[in-house]
Every structure is written in C-alpha cells, then in structure tokens.
Structure 1
C-alpha cells in the first residue's frame, strides 16, 4: 500500500487541520476528513516532514514546526481554522494550538501522553533506555493485535495488510525507538503547557483503549485551560476510533462540536449565526409562526 500525500478537501470557510498518529499517514484520518468535508468543512490531512511515514525522522521540534506551517497555510486562506489530532497527533495538536491561540477549536482523539493501555507490553518502559544504546537504530517496536481495533473483521484485514506492507489505514507495522523517544519528549512538553491552551476543546476517548488508558484524557480534562470543554467516552472501540466501530459517532460529534464552537464565537463577536440544518431551520420557523399567532 502506497503512503498517500497530503489530503486536501476544500469546501467551507472553516478549515480543519487533521494530524494523524506517530509514523503513520493521512489514511488514518481519511474517513473523518471526508465526513467533515461533507458537512461543509475544508479538511487538510498533511504529510509532516520528520513525523509522517516515508519521511526522514526528525526531533519533535521539527514535527511542531511542520504542523505549524500547515496551520499557517490554512490560516492564510480561511477565516476559521481548527486543529484535530489522533493519538500522538492529539499531543501535537495541543502543541500547535498552544502556539497558535487564534485557532477556533481543538479536537483530541485517543489522546496519548503515556503508552499505558492494557495491551502495551510490560517491557515498554525499557524503550527509553534502549534509545541511549546502539540498539536504538536496530530495534523497532512492532504493532500487534488488536491493532487498535475492536472490530474483528477489520482487525483481520489490517493484520494481512501489515504482513504485506509497512503501513496500513490504522498505522505503521512498526515504530522506531527514536520516534518513540521523541514522542515522549513531546508528551512532556505538552504536559507543561496544558494550562496555557485556552481554546474550545473536545476530547473523545474509548474506555477500553488498549494503547492509551482513559487516564490520558482525564489528565488533560483536569488541567487544560480550555474556555469550553466537552468529553465523550466510547464503549465499543479501541484506540483507532477514526476507523473502529464508532467512527460515525466520532465524525458526527466532531462536526457538531466544531459548528457549536463557531456559532458561539460568532455570537460573542456580534456576527450572524451560521446556517443550521434544514430540519432545525424549519422547526425554528414553525415556532416563530406559532409565537406570532399567539401575539
């Protein structure tokens, strides 16, 4: 399977920067990007130099710079830009919004600051030590079942894909020790900056996430300086919530939250409210007509 380039779907004047997981590709965010685009959002899932699969590995500072460049490119063209990240991409999204307070909103999916889920091998903590040995360039952490998926049929498909290719629609077949080390450095930075992140924030996390436990989401919810915070827990998914059983729920909740954030911002600025759904608009007209009749 070839690694796709940046996915850009242009439509509305509210752009959403979607950041995939560590050493992965835009494939992870494809369903969500297409759904949001169908809801009149412009979506961009970039390939980030030094972070995405198929690019030369770089320190996490380069990941941040690449994500900021993608954000700035959208901000130059669209009046509203929100940032959404998956897994380590959610940590990267936090870092972007910390440095770009003009962002409309922030969406954190399966946020990973610690690899502490129930399927993480007991020896995971040793990888930080391996980084400081010659083994860091020779050994790679290989992904294994359940591959972030509760859906068994899809899990079987991904298992076959990972046997044939280095990348799949739910991530890479393996991750290098240097990449994991830089992810730990990014997580430490994000923890220190959480209180300075003040944009509207949506957190969606699976209670059975096998890679990052719910503690990750709870920690951020308790410490972020968000002006408005919404947390949603899923009970029929594992880590890869953009591909698993509840991907439609995730997509709908993301779209709803982004619309709510934009609407609240417009109201606060004295601007006109955004277009609502046809059904809601019809209901509002009916209520207005009833009110006039009673007067």
Structure 2
C-alpha cells in the first residue's frame, strides 16, 4: 500500500503526431529509497514531447523503508524489464533513462539488450562507491537493519523527493553486490549512445562511477554534461530543465 500519493507510477501513450509519425517509447527509472516522485516532472516533460513513457514504482519503494529490505536487485530489474517489454511491444524504438540506482538498472538493460535499447540517459548513476563502511555490509546487514537516510540531496530550497527516512541495509547489499558488481563486469556490452549528466556537487554518488562507466562501455557516442547548480537528485533541482530539454533532443536524435 502506497503511503505517498507522489509515489504513484506514471504512464503515457505515444503521440506520433509529435514525433514525425513514429512511435517512440521512453523507460524512466527512479533511484534507491526514492519513488516516481523524483522522476515525474521529467517523465511528464518527455510525454509532452509525444514520447510514450513508462515510469514504474520499483518493488519495496513508496511504502515503508522496512519493505525495501524484503526485496532486491532481482525484483527491481524484473519490474523495469516488464515495463521495457511493454514499450518495445507498442513502439518503434525505445530509449531508457535513470537516476542513481535507476541509472544502474537501465545500464543493465542496455548491457543485456544492446540491440533493443536505442539510447541511454543517466543522471548521477551509481555502480560503485568508496565508502569504507560498505565493505562491512555482508555481515552488517544481519546486525543492523538500516543506516541514516541518503535522501533529499537537493540544492534547490523547498524541494522534497519523498524518499525513505532510512537506508535499508539488506537492500543496499543486494544493490551493491548482486547489482553493481556484475554490472561493472558487463559494461563493455553496452553499445547504445549514452547521454551522461553528472552533478558537480553530489553528496551521494562519488566520482568513481563516472570514471568506471566512461572507460568501460563500448558506446561510440558518449556525451557528458556537467550540472553546476544541482546536487544528487538533479531531476528535481536547478538544472532539471536542462536535463528535460537535452534528453528529449537526444532521444529524438537516436531514435530517428
């Protein structure tokens, strides 16, 4: 049961009259402990351009933080894959977009299905961390249920992403060990064009993720954009309009 109305998934049909007669789909994924609330403005902006959009609620999110400890990478990826399959069935081409964990998940899709992902847009994606305490997660997850929240890293005042007040450790372990580690090994399988947005000041994801992704993927087109006025949740921050506009132009180009 959802406890935040803003956590509702978002779905919009294609409007080929706005996209040169072609039906273009876009899959959008939110981040760890967050919900569609952090991505809805972006999803709505893409829908207004005529793209079919699917923004699912990842399992364990949008309810209580305790629920997130009951699921993990496999369930999140399955939910995202189902939304991607829906878009593939209904549209001529599909691009994928993700924030943080959502970025890692759509990169996983691009690695697994390179011939089906027309383009990838990521905002502060996480595939690695230098935090020392993470090394203890294999044991710590059985002793401690959660750490303090990593939510609302937003520079713009008065904005709330409605994320969980705590970071569930079993879920974090699943993300980092079952998700990130295999993904890093498979990044070379990604050939889709990539548009990478990176906040200059990000207090959640460190610089190592960008470096690893940039040197590992096989994409011939890799465009990096720096966001000077936003923190981690840049999709709700001062540079949000830049993300919305440039991602729409990128998607139109790679699906043309």
Q: Shared fold by TM > 0.5?
A: yes
Structure 1 residue aligned with 2:197: 204
C-alpha separation in 2, matches of 1:7 and 1:68: 16
Give the superposition deviation at 1:10: 1.8
**Equivalent residue for 1:236?**
229
TM superposition shift of 1:20: 0.4
Report the 3-state secondary structure (helix = DSSP H, G, I; strand = E; otherwise coil) of the residue aligned with 1:44. strand
Relative to structure 1, the CA distance from residue 247 to residue 134 in structure 2 (aligned partners, 3 Å threshold; closer, same or farther) is: closer
Query: Which of these two proteins has the greater Rg computed from alpha carbons?
Result: 1
Which of 54, 59, 62 is 1:53 aligned to? 62
Of 44, 47, 60, 2:54 maps to 44
SS at match of 1:171: coil
| Deviation for aligned residue 1:134 | 6.8
1:107 aligns with 2:107: no
Answer yes or no: is the 8 Å Cα contact 1:242–1:250 preserved in 2: yes
| Aligned-residue offset at 1:217 | 1.6
Query: Are the counterparts in 1 of residues 141 and 169 from structure 2 also a CA contact under 8 Å?
Result: no
Structure 1 gap segments, 5+ residues each: 117-123, 159-168, 264-295
Does structure 2 conserve the Cα–Cα contact (< 8 Å) formed by 1:148 and 1:211?
yes
Corresponding residue number in structure 1 for 2:19: none
Tell me if the contact between 1:141 and 1:177 (Cα under 8 Å) persists in the aligned partners: yes
Tell whether 2:15 aligns with 1:2: no
Structure 1 partner of 2:154: 149
TM-score (norm 2): 0.86
Q: Evaluate the alpha carbon distance shift between residue 130 and residue 183 of structure 1 in structure 2; reply closer, same or farther with a 3 A threshold.
A: closer
Distance 2:241 2:254 in 1: 20
| Structure 2 residue aligned with 1:194 | 187
Corresponding position of 1:25: 35
Please identify runs of 4+ aligned residues in structure 1 that moved more than 6 A.
none
Tell me the alpha carbon deviations over residues 239-264 of structure 1, each in whole angstroms, 9 at most, x when there is no partner: 0010011111111111111111123x
Partner of 1:285: none
Closer, same or farther: CA 144–8 of 1 in aligned 2, 3 Å: closer
Q: Does 1:129 align with 2:136?
A: yes
Long gaps (5+) in structure 2: 16-22
Aligned 8 A contact 1:26 1:46 in 2: yes
The equivalent residue for 1:278 is none
CA deviation profile, 1:254-284 (whole Å, cap 9, x unmatched): 1111111123xxxxxxxxxxxxxxxxxxxxx
Following superposition, the deviation at residue 226 of structure 1 comes to 1.1
Aligned ranges for residues 213-228 of structure 1 at < 5 Å? 213-228=206-221
Superposed displacement of residue 61, structure 1: 2.2
State the secondary structure of the residue aligned to 2:96.
strand
Give the C-alpha shift of residue 2 in structure 1: 1.5
| Partner residue, 1:140 | 146
- Note the aligned Cα RMSD (angstroms): 2.0
Task: Give the Cα–Cα distance (whole angstroms) in 1 for the partners of residues 24 and 132 of structure 2.
Answer: 41
1:254 to 1:179, Cα distance in 2 relative to 1, 3 A:
same
Q: Quick one: distance in 1 between partners of 2:199 and 2:141?
A: 36
